[in-house]
Chain A
Amino acid sequence: EPEVTQTPSHQVTQMGQEVILRCVPISNHLYFYWYRQILGQKVEFLVSFYNNEISEKSEIFDDQFSVERPDGSNFTLKIRSTKLEDSAMYFCASHRTPTPADTQYFGPGTRLTVL
């Protein structure tokens, strides 16, 4: 079964540093998402992306965040200047079409630790 992959599985960084989290969505999917989950808390939506532009973003997704689809396969989340509170699991998700109730497939996540 095709799956969403994410790298790295764990990223440790110093506060103020830039990080790039990478995702490879399922190959024929067109809609992409980033979510995050702080330890012990809910999964929260960050941003959705379609046709090379952001479709929707949450209030969490402020100016320090950006997303990009640099080629036909990768989908990246950049955090420009990390803060301690950015420590979380970051999940990439994708789905194929905007048809009703299309299932989102999630990757295994990247655990980001900001020291």
Chain B
Amino acid sequence: LAKTTQPISMDSYEGQEVNITCSHNNIATNDYITWYQQFPSQGPRFIIQGYKTKVTNEVASLFIPADRKSSTLSLPRVSLSDTAVYYCLVGDINSGNTPLVFGKGTRLSVIA
């Protein structure tokens, strides 16, 4: 499993764009990159997933450079309700029935 490294915490004001970068230097050819969000006392929730280049959905964008050794989760115009822990996970696309391995994540605090 590729090891991931993320900042422990980040602060942002409401309305700003937040970019959280995850480093995964040992990512393998078959690995996907997935981001989950966890609010206090709730289960993790899937945000976005990608393999290369850019993926966008209604919640976030995910930027993956050509070497795939890092990825950046971009949250546009955050609000107080985006305060949560964000986890970057890397896993083999050919192993769908595999447990998720969570790191410590990045604790995002959005300030009014």
Q: Which residues of A approach B to under 8 Å, CB–CB?
A: 4, 31, 33, 35, 42-45, 48, 50, 55-56, 58, 89, 91, 93, 95, 97-109, 111
Chain A interface: which of B11-19, B39-47, B61-69, B76-84? B39-47
Give which listed residue, B45, B96, B102, contacts A99 with CB less than 8 A: B96
CB pair A93 B43 closer than 8 Å: yes
Instruction: Give Cα A91 to B96, complex, Å.
Output: 19
- Sample of 15 further A-B pairs with CB below 8 A, known A43-B100, A55-B97, A106-B44: A33-B100, A35-B100, A42-B102, A43-B44, A48-B97, A58-B99, A89-B41, A91-B44, A95-B96, A100-B95, A101-B96, A105-B46, A106-B43, A108-B43, A111-B41
How far, in Å, is B8 (CB) from chain A's closest CB? 12
Task: Please indicate the chain A residues that have their CB under 8 angstroms from the CB of B87 in the complex.
Answer: 43
CB pair A43 B41 closer than 8 Å: no
CB pair B41 A45 closer than 8 Å: no
Q: Chain B: interface residue count, which band?
A: 20 to 34
Task: Please indicate the chain A residues that have their CB under 8 angstroms from the CB of B98 in the complex.
Answer: 56
Q: Is B54 among interface residues, defined by CB-CB distance under 8 A?
A: no
Closest to B97 in A: A98
Task: Please indicate the chain B residues that have their CB under 8 angstroms from the CB of A43 in the complex.
Answer: 38, 44, 87, 100, 102
How far, in Å, is A77 (CB) from chain B's closest CB? 14
With contacts A100-B93, A101-B32, A103-B49 taken as known, whether A45 is within 8 angstroms of B99 at the C-beta atoms is yes
Task: Please indicate the chain B residues that have their CB under 8 angstroms from the CB of A107 in the complex.
Answer: 43
Q: Is B101 among interface residues, defined by CB-CB distance under 8 A?
A: yes
With contacts A91-B43, A101-B34, A103-B46 taken as known, whether A42 is within 8 angstroms of B96 at the C-beta atoms is no
